[in-house]
Amino acid sequence: MLKKIIVGIAGDLNTVTMKLGCVLMAWALYLSLGVLWASQMLLAASFETLQCEGPVCTEESSCHVEDDLTDASEAGFQVKGYTFSEPFHLIVSYDWLILQGPAKPVFEGDPLVLRCQAWQDWPLTQVTFYRDGSALGPPGPNREFSIAAVQEADSGHYHCSGIFQSPGPGSPETASVVAITVQELFPAPILRAIPSAEPQAGGPMTLSCQTMLPLQRSAARLLFSFYKNGRTVQSRGVSSEFQIPTASEDHSGSYWCEAATEDNQVWKQSPQLEIRVQGPPGSAPLTLNPAPQKSAAPGTAPEEAPGPLPPLPTPSSEDPGFSSPLGMPDPHLYHQMGLLLKHMQDVRVLLGHLLMELRELSGHRKPGTTKATAE
């Protein structure tokens, strides 16, 4: 009897175990099917292929990773002989309609392509793109919206809408908003004068057009040009400096520079810089203040006015005094002599005025002097 009871209990336990195992297997199969269905749905929503391109190097191979780098920014991703690509964000969306944008940062001058992607690439009609809620054009069949060279003003929140054709739902659908930020490629340049904006004549002067590219675009190349009073003084080139070996007063004026990309998609001008070249030391105009004249004493005759002054000499290349020790005319010496002659001319004019005043004063004093002598 006891054996029968034990056998019955064992049989019941086996039955319960078998039923429990069947239930667990059913739940496991149900969960597996659910996970498989969700995976298929996600893959159908967005299927992307990620591929890493570059040389395959081993310790035994003779290839050099450094030689294959063309972007200076990639050098920071090298660790012990391995080269890593720049990271980017991958977003998997589950929706009837999504707006696909660029994965990397967008800078001024870059092309921008936005794609209105439908579920399983089903056909769409009446596709419309929007920025900040405003339509960028009439509805049409084109699923892509592109800008050849973006500017900072193109930043905003973009989305698209469209109507599914068969086998879609047949109703209008709208994609989620995607924020697009256009970054500044380089700031407006600043023109600086070295050593200063008021240099001395005869010395060198350098104008430097200063700006900076971001680290992500450090391999790009900018071209620079320089202008003075609305005229080009140095055409577009790779040099960011404009050199003046010997500055003179003729170099004074309003300068500015321009920085541009090689494709001329982005170009910016600097604020104007006023350059005032100072004359050589001691070249300030000479002014003479004539001393007050004393009245002639009674009973004395006025001094006789001197005759006219002789003409001043002018520099000539035949005069050895105006030439350099090598016998060649010295432009700097000519400039100095010209200033000296100008000062002498000013002194001559002042002396002439002084003589005229002395003559007028002597004319007023003559009647009084004659009357005193007669008494």
**What pLDDT, in 10s, does the model give residues 18-50?**
666 665 676 666 566 555 555 555 444 444 455
Rounded Cα distance between 124 and 164, Å, is 5
User: Global pTM?
Assistant: 0.53
Question: What ranges make up the beta strands (E) of the chain?
Answer: 78-79, 82-83, 97-100, 106-107, 112-118, 124-131, 134-135, 144-147, 156-164, 172-174, 178-180, 182-183, 190-194, 205-210, 222-228, 231-237, 241-244, 253-261, 267-269, 273-275
Last residue of a domain, which of 251, 275, 299?
A: 275
User: Which whole-number Å values give the CA distances from 327 to 53, 71, 313, 318, 324, in the listed order?
Assistant: 71, 58, 20, 10, 5
Q: Domain for residue 227, yes or no?
A: yes
363, part of any domain = no
CA dihedral sign, ordered 123, 127, 129, 134 = negative
Average model confidence (pLDDT) across the chain:
74
Q: Does one domain contain both 139 and 194?
A: no
Residues 217 and 269 in one domain: yes
Tell me, yes or no, whether 339 lies in a domain.
Answer: no
234 in the same domain as 215: yes
- Whether residues 102 and 171 fall in one domain: yes
Which residue among 135, 155, 183 closes a domain?
183
Closest to 301 in 3D by CA, of 216, 352, 244, 363 = 363
Residues 137 and 177 in one domain: yes
- Asked if 185 and 211 touch (Cβ cutoff 8 Å), the reply is no
Q: Is 21 exposed, middle or buried (0-12, 13-18, 19+ CB in 10 A)?
A: exposed
Q: Would residue 13 count as lying in a domain? A: no
Q: 208 and 252 share a domain? A: yes
Say whether both 139 and 168 belong to one domain.
yes
221: closest CA among 72, 111, 65?
Answer: 72
Q: In this structure, what token pair is assigned to residue 289? A: 């203040």
Confirm if 139 and 127 have CB atoms less than 8 A apart: yes
Note the pLDDT tens digit of each residue in 254-305. 999 999 999 999 999 999 999 999 987 655 444 444 444 444 444 444 444 4
Residue 253 lies in a domain: yes
- Same domain for 136 and 111: yes
Same domain for 176 and 153?
yes
Residue where a domain terminates, one of 183, 209, 225: 183
CATH of the domain at 179: 2.60.40.10
Question: What is the domain count for the chain?
Answer: 2
Q: Is there a single domain that holds both residue 220 and residue 265?
A: yes
For residue range 61-92, list pLDDT tens digits in order.
444 444 444 444 444 455 566 766 666 666 66
For residue 362, how many other CB atoms are within 10 A of its CB? 16
Task: Identify which has the larger pLDDT, 278 or 13.
Answer: 278
Residue with tokens 């990639």: 74
Q: How confident is the model at residue 183 (pLDDT cuts 50, 70, 90)?
A: very high
Q: Are residues 209 and 150 in the same domain?
A: no
Residue 34 located in a structural domain: no
User: In terms of domains, do 146 and 221 share one?
Assistant: no
In a domain, 325, yes or no: no
Q: Are 368 and 298 in contact (CB under 8 A)?
A: yes
What integer is the mean pLDDT of 156-185?
A: 88
Domain housing 222: 190-275
Kindly state whether residue 219 falls inside one of the protein's structural domains: yes
Backbone torsion region of residue 126, taken as left when φ is above 0, otherwise alpha when ψ lies between -120 and 50, otherwise beta:
left
